């Protein structure tokens, strides 16, 4: 071990084979843990010469009254709504907000964290980049006792509070709606398969099919890289399938809008020839022709809840134990899925 | 005068009745000024015990490699594009970017400046809030020798560099296009009249009318507060006008989209009954039915140019004298304005 290296809770957790959250609770003498477990952890911490980060604690006394927010991209209407919710609520409680964009890059996400932490923000709200598949930078924040809350794009194992949507539930709702309108051969256009939302929305799609006794057919699951070119390729592929699918559920609205534009150019009628639905409820969904059936995700509400919880933690109102808040989504049925 | 009060260039400018820019040039011994003018200013500065802000200068030596950006709103696709241009360019040159939103409030804009300056950003890029009609907070930055560049929503008198669009030129192009397509009774739907873009776009609209020998009729200028309700009210008003206008040019795309939606509900055909055009080229403009004729403003380019100039100033590559960069816009003719 390097000289001068400061032992972290993560290292104690690793040595004892328990979670960081358990270490944290033991050192706080939480009544939720068995006394024997606590004793073992405290002893190990002493042995390893663990010292809580006093600097972090003292910094927390003098507040900068500033919060940092990291989102994958600001151009997304959804994240922009989250930011509005965060900022309105933070301002009301006397805090200002600085925002950084990771551009879906883990390196940029790390740089953003360094920048915001050295700007002495009181806490952070983070939605992870698409690339983030290692989490040391988050565990590092945790060890330094810097308060942060994850939202929308979260990592499930880190013992901090999270705010997410019921993605599977939303996909279930929209697929059920397509089934109720008579469709049986329903394509799911998924983003890259390792994305959390790709998986969760597929889960809901399959659950609805199962409930209606529709046999799962993997050839009906199409993957796009979410670029315009990728979306158009999928739109064309679908038209060559035999028998032709009678409905398409796209993982996010921008995909559905690209599919619709391509089909209109080919004089395919929506919903008469094929029904179409998206997910997110971007402003564009309401104004395309025909208007797009979709699932509304209240981004503003998500931002509001995430920042309220973070501020409650900073103010010592919220429990220090992490919680998970799951927001429900709402089906928005429009003309693109309904044969009149 | 308060004890310990530090004299600013603004105060010297006020006393001598010249611009802050002139004071700044004189103290830098710029060859552009008459020697006698310089002598007078240097004398006045000595008399008033002016001292350049050495702290600011020393801070500039140790860089945080972070820039601050303040925009009125992040949910606007246009400002989100500017931010992307700023961030991509800044990252390439080794800088990180923190973004704050003023929510169109001058108080929030001031708070954002305080937050970013106390975070020790190396420079700022600012687009002013709709409410900002006093500029002391900007002169204050200037006096503290903190580098900043204004973009899109600028104040013309402050002696710092600015990046703007040729708004009058864009409005001229689109109005000329409507005239060339045969329209003569053309409504201009303006935002609040004191907005810089309301004025500039009206200027271009009137110039095109004049060129085509169309008499200026003030009843054809309609004002919206830019809310959805305000836009719909204007859409309805226009339908009651006699004779009915044959074309409508809306100051920004969101207004045109609201007008289009209201008219479609009333079964007014665009462009057959009335031609319609917007300004901005939001993504929505391309996907509404019929697609909307508009004017493209390259937000990404604007962000890139603004940050490049700021970084050139920080690196001592750009001249210290402020410059004004004006970007041209491009007409995007689509179906909403063209009778086929």
Least confident of B66-75, B120-129, B150-159: B150-159
Cβ(A176)–Cβ(A211) below 8 Å: yes
Residue of A nearest to B120 (CA): A119
Residue B288 lies in a domain: yes
Q: Is B99 at the interface with chain A, CB within 8 A?
A: yes
pLDDT of amino acid B50: 78
Residue B322 lies in a domain: no
B108 vs A contacts (CB less than 8 Å): 91
Q: Same domain, yes or no, for B186 and B101?
A: no
Q: Which helix (H) or strand (E) holds B151?
A: strand B148-151
pLDDT over threshold 80, residue B269: yes
DSSP label at residue A190: E
Chain A interface, best mutation among B287, B300, B334, by max A CB count within 10 A: B287
pLDDT of amino acid A336: 97
Q: Single out the residue of B151, B91, B155 nearest to residue B297, CA to CA.
A: B151
pLDDT digits (tens, 9 = 90+) for B81-106: 999 999 999 999 999 999 999 999 99
Q: Same domain, yes or no, for A172 and A288?
A: yes
Q: Same domain, yes or no, for A99 and A194?
A: no
Contact assignment for A66 to B103 by CB distance below 8 Å: no
- Strands of the sheet containing B66-71, edge to edge, are A324-327, A162-165, A148-151, A123-126, A66-71, A96-101, B96-101, B66-71, B123-126, B148-151, B162-165, B324-327
Q: Same domain, yes or no, for B65 and B151?
A: yes
Q: Which helix (H) or strand (E) holds A39?
A: helix A35-47
How many other CB atoms are there within 10 angstroms of residue A330's CB atom? 12
**φ, ψ dihedrals at B335, nearest 5°:** -65, -30
Which of A139, A160, A181 lies at the terminal end of a domain, its last residue? A160
Residue A139 lies in a domain: yes
pLDDT over threshold 80, residue B55: no
Q: Same domain, yes or no, for A189 and A275?
A: yes
pLDDT of amino acid A211: 96
Q: Same domain, yes or no, for B215 and B284?
A: yes
**φ, ψ dihedrals at B233, nearest 5°:** -60, -45
Q: Same domain, yes or no, for A183 and A149?
A: no
Q: Is A100 at the interface with chain B, CB within 8 A?
A: yes
Secondary structure (3-state) at A245: coil
Tokens at residue B113, please?
Answer: 């400046």
Instruction: Name which residue leads in pLDDT, B149 or A43.
Output: B149
Residue of B nearest to A77 (CA): B75
Residue B174 pLDDT level (bands cut at 50, 70, 90): very high
Q: Is B84 at the interface with chain A, CB within 8 A?
A: yes
Angle at A163 between CA A158 and CA A168, to 5 degrees: 100
Q: Is B294 at the interface with chain A, CB within 8 A?
A: no
pLDDT of amino acid A52: 62
Which of A140, A160, A180 lies at the terminal end of a domain, its last residue? A160
Q: Same domain, yes or no, for B138 and B184?
A: no
Residue of B nearest to A111 (CA): B96
Residue found by looking up tokens 């890029």 in the block = B125
pLDDT digits (tens, 9 = 90+) for B5-33: 667 777 888 888 888 778 877 876 677 78
Give how far A36 is from chain B: nearest CA, Å: 45
**Within 13 Å of residue A118, how many CA atoms lie on the same side as its CB?**
13
pLDDT of amino acid B62: 63
Residue A318 lies in a domain: no
A66 vs B contacts (CB less than 8 Å): 115, 119
| CA B12 – CA B18 distance, rounded (Å) | 8
Residue span of the structural domain in which B262 resides: 167-297+331-337
pLDDT of amino acid B61: 53
Residues whose CB falls within 8 Å of the CB of residue A198, separated by 6 or more in sequence, listed in order: A190, A191, A192, A251
Question: In the predicted model, what is the mean pLDDT of chain B?
Answer: 90
Pairing of strands A294-296, A330-332: antiparallel
- Strands of the sheet containing B247-250, edge to edge, are B221-223, B186-190, B247-250, B275-277
Helices first, then strands: H and E counts in chain A: 13, 12
State ipTM: 0.71
Q: How many domains, in total, are found in chain A?
A: 3
Q: Same domain, yes or no, for B138 and B123?
A: yes
Least confident of A138-142, B1-5, B260-264: B1-5
Residue B59 pLDDT level (bands cut at 50, 70, 90): very low
B263 exposure class (CB count in 10 Å sphere: 0-12, 13-18, 19+): buried
Instruction: Give the residue ranges of chain A where pLDDT is below 50.
Output: 1-3, 54-60
Residue of A nearest to B117 (CA): A119
Q: What CATH number should be reported for the domain holding residue A48? A: 1.10.260.40
| CA A77 – CA A216 distance, rounded (Å) | 33
pLDDT digits (tens, 9 = 90+) for B183-223: 999 999 999 888 888 999 999 999 999 999 999 999 999 99
Q: Same domain, yes or no, for B199 and B286?
A: yes
**Within 13 Å of residue B310, how many CA atoms lie on the same side as its CB?**
32
A282 vs B contacts (CB less than 8 Å): none
Give how far A329 is from chain B: nearest CA, Å: 21
Instruction: Name which residue leads in pLDDT, B74 or A171.
Output: A171
Residue B302 lies in a domain: no
pLDDT of amino acid B218: 95
Tokens at residue A56, please?
Answer: 């972090």
Q: Same domain, yes or no, for B143 and B203?
A: no
Tokens at residue A109, please?
Answer: 């996400």
pLDDT of amino acid B1: 40
Least confident of B208-217, B219-228, B286-295, B320-329: B320-329
Which residues are A66's β-sheet partners? A96
Q: Could you tell me the CA-to-CA distances from B316 to B53, B69, B117 in Å, in that order?
A: 18, 20, 20
pLDDT of amino acid A53: 54
pLDDT of amino acid A319: 77
Residue B325 lies in a domain: no
Residue A2 lies in a domain: no
Residue B324 lies in a domain: no
Average pLDDT over residues B270-289: 94
Which of A160, A175, A206 lies at the terminal end of a domain, its last residue? A160
Q: What CATH number should be reported for the domain holding residue A291? A: 3.40.50.2300
SS (H, E, C) A63-98: CCCEEEEEECCCCCHHHHHHHHHHHHHHHHCCCEEE
Q: Same domain, yes or no, for A172 and A154?
A: no
Contact assignment for A118 to B64 by CB distance below 8 Å: yes
């Amino acid at each position: 071990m390097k000289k001068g290296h400061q032992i972290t809770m993560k290292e104690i957790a690793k040595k004892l084979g328990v979670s960081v959250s358990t270490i944290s609770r033991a050192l706080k003498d939480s009544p939720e843990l068995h006394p024997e477990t606590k004793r073992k952890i405290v002893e190990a911490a002493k042995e390893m010469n663990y010292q809580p980060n006093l600097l972090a604690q003292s910094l927390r006394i003098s507040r900068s009254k500033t919060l940092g927010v990291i989102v994958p991209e600001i151009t997304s209407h959804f994240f922009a709504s989250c930011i509005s919710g965060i900022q309105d609520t933070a301002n009301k409680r006397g805090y200002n907000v600085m925002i950084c964009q990771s551009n879906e890059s883990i390196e940029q996400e790390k740089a953003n964290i360094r920048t915001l932490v050295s700007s002495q923000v009181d806490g952070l709200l983070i939605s992870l980049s698409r690339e983030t598949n290692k989490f040391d930078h988050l565990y590092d924040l945790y060890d330094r006792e810097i308060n942060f809350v994850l939202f929308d794009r979260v990592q499930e194992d880190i013992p901090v509070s999270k705010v997410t949507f019921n993605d599977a539930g939303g996909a279930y709702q929209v697929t059920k709606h397509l089934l109720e309108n008579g469709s049986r051969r329903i394509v799911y256009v998924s983003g890259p398969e390792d994305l959390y939302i790709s998986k969760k929305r597929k889960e809901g799609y399959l659950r609805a099919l199962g409930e209606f006794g529709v046999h799962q057919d993997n050839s009906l699951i199409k993957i796009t890289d979410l670029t315009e070119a990728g979306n158009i390729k999928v739109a064309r592929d679908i038209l060559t399938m035999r028998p032709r699918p009678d409905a398409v559920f796209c993982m996010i609205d921008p995909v559905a809008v690209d599919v619709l534009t391509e089909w209109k150019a080919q004089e395919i009628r929506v919903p008469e020839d094929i029904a179409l639905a998206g997910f997110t409820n971007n402003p564009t969904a309401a104004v395309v022709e025909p208007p797009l059936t979709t699932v509304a995700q209240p981004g503003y509400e998500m931002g509001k809840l995430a920042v309220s919880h973070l501020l409650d933690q900073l103010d010592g109102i919220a429990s220090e134990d992490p919680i998970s808040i799951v927001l429900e989504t709402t089906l928005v049925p429009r003309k693109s899925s309904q044969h009149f």
